[in-house]
Structures are given as structure tokens and as C-alpha cells.
Amino acid sequence: MVTGGNRGIGRAIAVALAADGFAVAVTARDADTLADTVTAIEADGGTALALPCDVRDEESVTTMARDVADLGRVHTVVANAGIAGPTAPLHEIQLAEWRNCLATDLDGVFLTFRAFVPAMIESGAGSLVAISSMTGKRPLHGRTPYAAAKMGVIGLVRTLAVELGPHGIRVNAVCPGAVAGPRIDDVIRRQAATRGITEDEALRAFTGASPLARLVKANEVAAACAYLASDAATSITGEDLNVSAGVVMY
């Protein structure tokens, strides 16, 4: 199952997992926006289930996990749902903005994983994948809530890997770089406004740090998630896998 599977990285992950033979449940706050993901999967002969879920809300996540069980045993959970949060100096960020970012990007991972862990322990297998970010490893101007949340995800993943390893469950994070699409376009606009630079200069701050001199593609992040879900990754746990076009190498 994939949270935030209605667009961008989440949709690409869901489609990639379906192509590997998984029946895929996809969630978002508004189930109507999941139609394109489900259509894409079913058009290729796959099985998909769309469910509304707000990962910030414990009851919503619990209900979603119960409904996902209708597809059968859950093998892989990708906690992808997230928001960019505010772009501003720390002293200008409101507490409500800070809390909303951490509630979505960090608490959402906690609640999502917690809902599926008991059944995975019972079955003695499973793969949990959290979408962190290269910003969880390096600074990004004006993005303190997002950076704090994404670094927290890495700590959660490493500790949970230790807890769940004896039960045959693997836990990993994927750390994308700047992924081409509407979301990074908005981030670039906000970076330019906050730093007093042009949007071209803000874009070059991402691409110029990459040995490949480009943004990341959503399907490249999806491929990493599909790998971590596969039998090829059975000895990989507690890792934070960069998909950053080389911007981060640690």
C-alpha cells in the first residue's frame, strides 16, 4: 500500500509496484484524486484499491489499514504522503505551520507503519519504506520544519529496523533529491522569493550541485521503492537510500 498515491512520486510508486505484480492500495485525503492512479494500474491489468486517508489522523489511518486488509496480507507499505511545509526564516514560521508539517511528514509515517506492524509481525515478513528526502541530510534554506521532519524519518527507520529485524521485517528510507514536477516548481518559486534570487538561480542551486546536472524523475524514486519491496533487497534494512542525482552521497 502507498500513502499519498494520488500524484507525483506516490503515483509512480504505486504504478511500479503494480507492474511488479502487487495488488496496490493507494490513499490520499481526497479519494477522488486517486482515480488516475487506479485507472493507470488497471489499464495494465493490475489490481488497485483507492481509499481516503488523512495520515495525520489516527482514526483515519486505523480505518484505512482495516480496509486495506480486504486485498489480503500486506507485504509492503510505502509511507509517501507528505507536504512541503512553509518556506520562510524560522522566526517567521507560525507554530501551526510547523506542527502541520511535522504531523504530516513525520507523525504520518509513525501512524502508517504502526497500523501495519502487528500483522507483519504475525506473518513474520514485510517491507516498510518511508519517503524521507535529501533535505533530511543537508540544509535547505528556509525549510526548517521539513528538514526536521525528514531527518526524524531517518531516525525512525533506523530504530524500527532494529526492533523489527528479529521478526523478518525490513525497514528502509528513500531520500529523493529535487524531483521534477509541480511540487518542485513551487519550491523553486518560494526559494527564489525568500532568498531574493531569480527562479533560474534557485533551480541551478539544485541542478548545479548534481554531478548529472539535472533533477530527479519520479519513476527513478519509484524504482528504488520497488527494489526495496523485492526479494533482491532481502538483506537491506535500516538504510536511507539516496535518489538525488548525486547531490547527496552519504
For residue 40, what are the CA distances in angstroms to 14, 21, 48, 131, 195? 10, 14, 9, 22, 39
Count of H helices and E strands in the chain? Answer: 9, 7
- Write down the domain spans for the chain: 2-177+217-243, 180-215
Residue 22 identity (one-letter amino acid):
F
Give the three-state DSSP class for 93.
Answer: coil
Residue 206's nearest CA partner among 103, 115, 114, 134 is: 134
Residue 26 identity (one-letter amino acid):
V
Tell me the β-bridge partners of 242.
175
pLDDT at 194: 85
State which fold the 2-177+217-243 domain adopts.
Answer: Rossmann fold (3.40.50)
pLDDT at 113: 98
Catalytic machinery residues: 146
Which regions of the chain are under pLDDT 50?
none
CA pair distance 249, 242, nearest whole angstrom? 7
The model's pLDDT over 36-64, given as tens digits with 9 standing for 90+, comes to 999 999 999 999 999 999 999 999 999 99
Question: Which three cell numbers mark 126?
Answer: 514485510
The model's pLDDT over 179-193, given as tens digits with 9 standing for 90+, comes to 998 888 888 888 888
Residue 78's nearest CA partner among 152, 7, 27 is: 27
